[in-house]
Structure formats: C-alpha cells, structure tokens
Structure 1
Amino acid sequence: MTPGIHRPIMRPSARKKQMPLLSLPYTEAEARLRGNREHGRWWFADHLAPELRALGASERLKEPVFAPLIKPSFSFTGRETLFTIGSCFAREIEEAMNADGIDVSSHPEIFNQWEPKVPAAVSGTDERIYRMGVVNKYTIRTMVEELRWAAQAAPVEDHPAIQEIASGRFVDLAAHNILAGEDKASVQRRRQEINRLMRGAYTSDLIVVTLGLAEGWRDTETGISLVDSPISFKSENTGRYVLDVLSYADHINGLREIAALLNAHGKPGWRMLLTVSPVPFLASYTGDDVIIANSYSKAVLRAAAEEFARENERVDYFPSFEMANYSDPALVWESDRRHVTRPFVGEIISAFKQAYLKS
C-alpha cells in the first residue's frame, strides 16, 4: 500500500448483500435430483447396474456428439421472424435457419455483393460466411451500441462510427472492415445496410444473442467499442484506442440493457435465446497465454448468460458452447481448432430445432 494512503475496511453490514442464483429448500432439491435420473449425476458407482451407470455424464461424454438436457420455456413454429446478433458463429446459425426457410431478419446476404479486401481463404472461413461477417459483434458493448443506434434510427450521414483514420481513408468502427472500399461513400453504403439489418431486432419474434469475447478495443475520442482491432485497419492515430478486458458486471449490465431496449422498442412478447459462441480468440492482446485468456472470456460470458436467463422469464440459455466443447473434437473443429465444422453446426441446429421448433 502506498505510504500515507489508508483504505477503509468495509464492515460486513456495509457490503452489498449477494443473493444466490437459485435457492431451494431441502425437499425440493432432493426431488429435483431424483427426478433428473438421466442427467443429474456425473458418475454412478461401478457396483451399480450397467443400465444405471450408463446414465452418468462420465459415460454420456464418451458419445461422439454430446446431447445436453435442454429445457425450453417456449417454442418457435418457424413462421415467426428470427433475428441474430453476435460473433461469426451467429452467421452460421443464420445460414442454417435461412436454408430451412425461416425468416431471418438479420441475414446479411446483401454483403455478398461487395468484394473482400483479401480472399476468404486467408481467414480459413467459408466465402459466404466471411463476407457476411461485416455485421459480426464480438463483445457485449458492440451489441449494445448497435442496438441503441437501431432504436434511435441514427442517420448514416453523420453516424458516429464512421471515422476518417487517415487522409481519405474511412472505417466503420462498429463493423468488421473486411470489404474493399475505404472511401466515405462506400463505408456509408455498408453502414446503411447494417442499420437496416439491426432494426430487425425490434420487428422480430425471437432474438438470438451469441456472446463471443470479453476482450475488445475502444475509441477514446468517440467512446465507441470497436469490432476490428486498430492494428487491422492501420489508423494514423493509434493513441486514441485502448484495450478493454470486460468484467462480469459489464456483461450482465449489457444484457439487461438489451432487454430494456427490446421492452421499449421491440415486439410485444419477444423471446430471446442466449448462447455463448464456442469459437475462441484469434489472438489476445493482454500478454497472457491465449488459451488462458480465452478460458476467462468464455467463463465470464457463460456466468453472465446464466444469471440473465434465470432472472428473465423471456430468455432461455441454449448450450451450443457445451455441445462443441464436450463432443469429439475431430467432429467439432476445423484444423485451426477454432472454427466449427459445418456438419457440427448442423448438429447444434438440429438440437435447437428438436427442442424449440414446433409445427
């Protein structure tokens, strides 16, 4: 402690009382365990019957595809409109749902008309998914800011996200700048389409929020959270950007703001499916081991998702993250151990449809 500085000790009575996520009386807790015979235990003792031991998670995890217990609180007929916001994994969900004839208001097909700056193969991503990644949102702050602008119908002509980063070179701080055209008019045209797509959040029945990462950049001049890193778009003034590693409070408060925006501007009766993307960091700027940094990122996202879903009756958590991480890696991951294979995305979508899609 710095000499001369005395930090007060917080008395127990002064601390904010922390409430558990769930509090069950003994009889109900015991009844829930007994009633959850097929999914409630990690392991059954070896002396028990084989058919009982097979119900333990230790045995279920030996299956190539992990099939989690999903307890939907609502259903989706496929005739309603779906909106998705989040990381690149959200694009995979949109593609799969769109192929099934579901009305996906956020589907960014429009961006396939622009040429990318570099070939999609450089990123190891499918060509269509790559171009549509213009609308990717990796952190909770980027999602909240985008939905705020959509609610305000922010005009493209003076949109705060469009910034000149060098003489005659413009970027959209709130978009993935992967397409050719760095003149102001090109960036504005793309922003106009982003604005149109994001307004779909307020006209859709089911909102799918895919939380991606807990580490991102912020522009100190505008306060906007970046989708790209400043390194990627080669700004002349790198001093205006700072790296933020977001906390649990950042995430739970961000999710609550999204719900407030939907309550104020969305369709009556909107529902949300909240997921955590299994896709890890490409790189961490903290100086930590990227695997350790990614572990924190996914843990804090998962914790915030759990609390938010438990406190909001309109929201379900969907375990795509767990499906990917507890299934056979050879089935789940491309060779980069980062992108999820198209067949396994199909497994996740199949689990969603089986649980939520009703005819």
Structure 2
Amino acid sequence: MSHPYEGMPAQAFWRKTVSAQAWAQLDFKPSTKFKLTPSLKIATAGSCFAQHMAKRLESFGLSHWVVEQPPAGLTPERARELQYGVFSARYANVYTVRQLRQLVEFAFGLREGDPPVLTDKGRFFDGLRPRVQAGGYDSLADLRADRAWHLSQVRRLFTECDVFVFTLGLTEAWVEQGSGIVFPVCPGTAAGEFDAERHGFVNFEYPEVLADLEWVREFVAGVNPGMRWIVTVSPVPLVATATAHPVIVASSYSKAVLRAVAGRFADAHESVEYFPSFEIISSAQSFGQYLEGDLREVSPRGVDHVMRQFSAAFVEAGERIAVTASSIAVQAAAAAQVECEELLNDRP
C-alpha cells in the first residue's frame, strides 16, 4: 500500500457507497458488536421516537420486554391511555440523559427525598411523569403508592434485562432549583404551575451528558454485568426552545451534542452499540423524503426504513423488507398514538 486509504473497505468511501446507490439501498450499519435473538429481554426507553422502535421489535421476532404490566381487569383501551406497554415501564418519555440517571437513582434508593408533585384542579400529578396517569391521581397517597410500584419495576428492569435500547432526545430541560431534579417538560405545560423562582432552565452540554450516561452504565453494570446497550439519537427536532436562538439552530446544537455523546459512548465500550436512526432520517442527502409536512415529524415511510435497517443490522438473517402499502398504513396508525409531552410546549 502506498497510503492507508488503499486498504479501506468500500463503506469508507462516499463515491462507492453514497453517490453510487439509492438512499433506500445504502447500508448504514454493515456490522455490529452483537446480535439480537428472540430469547433476549429487550427493554426500551427514551424520547418519542423510541416508541416507534418499541412497537416494531416483535415484528422482527424479538421480545419487547414490558416489565410493568397493567393490573388485572383494566381494558386494553384504558391500559393504553395509562401508557402501559408504551415503553418497558411506565416512565413515559425520558428525553434527557439526566432524566435517565435520576430514574435509576430513585429506583435504587440513591436519592433522598420525594420527587416533586404537581397539582391541577384538585388532582395530583407525578412531576417526573405528569402525563402517565391520564387525569391525575385522586390523592397523594395513590400517587405515592403507584410511584413506589413503578420504581420497583424499574429496579427489576435494570437488574434483569439483557439489552437496553435508549434513544437520546433533548439537551434542554427544566429543573427544580435546589434539588436539581429535572422535569420531562416545563411545569405548567402538562400540569401544575410554573414558578420562576423554583423552576430553572438548563441546556446540558457534552461533558454533562456523557458523564451522566457513563454513570448509568457503570452503576447498572454493578447490578447487571451482562446488560448490553443500543443507543440512538432521535431525528425529531425540538418543538420549541427556551434558548435565545431560533428553534432550528437550537435543535441543531442539541442533536450535535447528543450524536457526539452517543458516538463516544459506543466507541468506548464493547457492550454498547450505536444505531444511526438520526443519519437515516436527517442527513441532507435524504432530501427530506421521510419528513411529514411540518418538516419535523418522521413519516411512517421513514420509520419503516429505520426499522428495516435495524433488522438487517441486529437480527440474525434480518432482511430489509420491502415497503408495502399495508405496512405504511400500520405505521401511520401507530404514529397517531405516539405519546409526546414535548408538544405541550407549543399548544395552538
């Protein structure tokens, strides 16, 4: 070899891969550190986009492990309304890595004090998951009992699951002054009232996000050494920003930080893989073909492409199943059911 590039595989060259192929045929994940099999307990968490991934795992013959099951007698409609099965436990959307860290801290008794409680019209709402109990709780005792059960199931999840799929969504968040507890959405949007003296804005930076993610990995490895990770970055932009920047600029910052963290995290650990759902949807070379009319939401066709790539990469003998009209219809129906508290930041 006269220089190192002569020995590189075709995937290393733009001309041989990107320029020479249709976008739908481009292989975004030619190899992985591990494969997924039906016997594995696969848990999911993260932003709204992670819900799409959770819905599709079983179609590939995999097990989406739902540890927090609805109580007996609850109708399927009511169970869905209360967000049973949306993720592996009823933590609702975990938008920031700091949220994930504090969830683990509360579940394993590493944080003192109770999480915040929000009130609205005589009803009680869990500050860490204000939309998970539609209409709120009748009493503070009911809220605390349900929270205790939920955290016990989160503890079981991290103790027993084989693979944890986490989608990084946001860097912006609102925190409770003093305790530093981070909310999934700004108080006053989903429930409760905003208090400028009590609630502060934070936009997490690369070192903070990476440190939180590394802390979670290290802690969980202590209770479940065999757990592996698949990390992704949500391709869905911010619905609104609390910074002084235009939302499209603020969103670019947020995604850049999260993508950099996810890449560093995966490169540093054999037990962690990165899956490029962000690149499949958001690369300029996709010509925005997978976006809805608002140029923000991912279309069912886009979700289908992401999950076909996921199957090809992680599932033994996985195939890039052709898109069909029926599969698009199914995805469209599923997309309409995605729970996304962030939308409350920009209510019409």
TM-score over 0.5 for the pair = yes
Aligned length in residues: 306
User: Aligned residue for 1:174?
Assistant: 128
Q: What are the Cα deviations for residues 14-44 of structure 1, in whole angstroms up to 9, with x where unaligned?
A: xxxxxxxxxxxxx89816x63322x21224x
2:254 corresponding residue in structure 1:
297
- Aligned position for 2:7: 34
Q: Quick one: structure 1 residues 216 and 189, their matched pair in 2 at CA, closer, same or farther if it must change by over 3 Å?
A: same
Among residues 78, 90, 97, which one is paired with 1:113 in the alignment? 78
- Please state whether the residue corresponding to 2:108 is helix, strand or coil: helix
Question: Which residue number corresponds to residue 89 of structure 1?
Answer: 49
Q: In structure 2, what is the Cα distance between the partners aligned to 1:115 and 1:291?
A: 32
Q: Which of 115, 123, 129 is 1:161 aligned to?
A: 115
Instruction: Describe the shift of the 1:106–1:206 C-alpha distance in structure 2 as closer, same or farther (beyond 3 A).
Output: same
Partners in 1 of 2:196 and 2:137 — Cα distance?
18
On the 8 A contact 2:90/2:150 being kept in 1, the answer is: no
Instruction: Verify the 8 A CA contact 1:92 1:129 in the aligned structure 2.
Output: no
| CA deviation after TM superposition for structure 1 residue 172, in Å | 1.7
TM-score between the two structures when normalised by the length of structure 1: 0.74
Residue 315 of structure 2 corresponds to: 357
Query: What's the CA shift for 1:255?
Result: 1.1
The answer to whether the 8 A contact 2:282-2:288 is kept is: no
Percent sequence identity is 26
Correspondence for 2:339:
none
Q: Is the 8 A contact 2:96 2:171 kept in 1?
A: yes
Task: Give, as a single letter, the amino acid of the residue that structure 2 aligns with 1:58.
Answer: S
Distance in 2 of aligned mates of 1:87 and 1:191 = 20
Pairing 1:195-274 to 2, within 5 Å after superposition: 195-199=151-155, 200-232=157-189, 233-235=191-193, 237-266=195-224, 268-274=225-231
CA distance in 2, matches of 1:279, 1:36: 31
The amino acid that maps onto 2:183 is L
Q: Report the Cα offset of residue 226 of structure 1.
A: 0.4
Once residues 234 and 318 of structure 1 are traced to their aligned partners in structure 2, the CA distance between those partners, rounded to angstroms, is 37
Q: What secondary structure is seen at the aligned counterpart in 2 of 1:272?
A: strand
Query: Which ranges of 4 or more aligned residues in structure 1 deviate by more than 6 Å?
Result: none
The structure-2 alpha-carbon separation of the partners of 1:251 and 1:163, relative to structure 1 and needing over 3 Å to count, comes to same
8 A Cα contact 2:18 2:26, kept in partner: no
Q: Which has the larger radius of gyration?
A: 1
CA distance in 1, matches of 2:311, 2:131: 33
Question: CA distance change for structure 1 residues 138 and 220 in 2, over 3 Å: closer, same or farther?
Answer: same
One-letter code aligned to 1:181: G
**Cα distance in 2, alignment partners of residues 270 and 29 from structure 1:** 40
Task: Describe the shift of the 1:182–1:205 C-alpha distance in structure 2 as closer, same or farther (beyond 3 A).
Answer: same
Instruction: Please say which of residues 100-109 and 297-306 is displaced more in the overlay.
Output: 100-109
Structure 1 residue ranges without an equivalent (≥5): 1-26, 44-54, 121-127
After superposition, what is the alpha-carbon deviation per residue over 1:68-122, rounded to whole angstroms, capped at 9, x for unaligned? 14320111112110011211111111111144453323477749526869xx9xx
| CA spacing shift, 1:189–1:346, aligned 2, 3 Å | farther
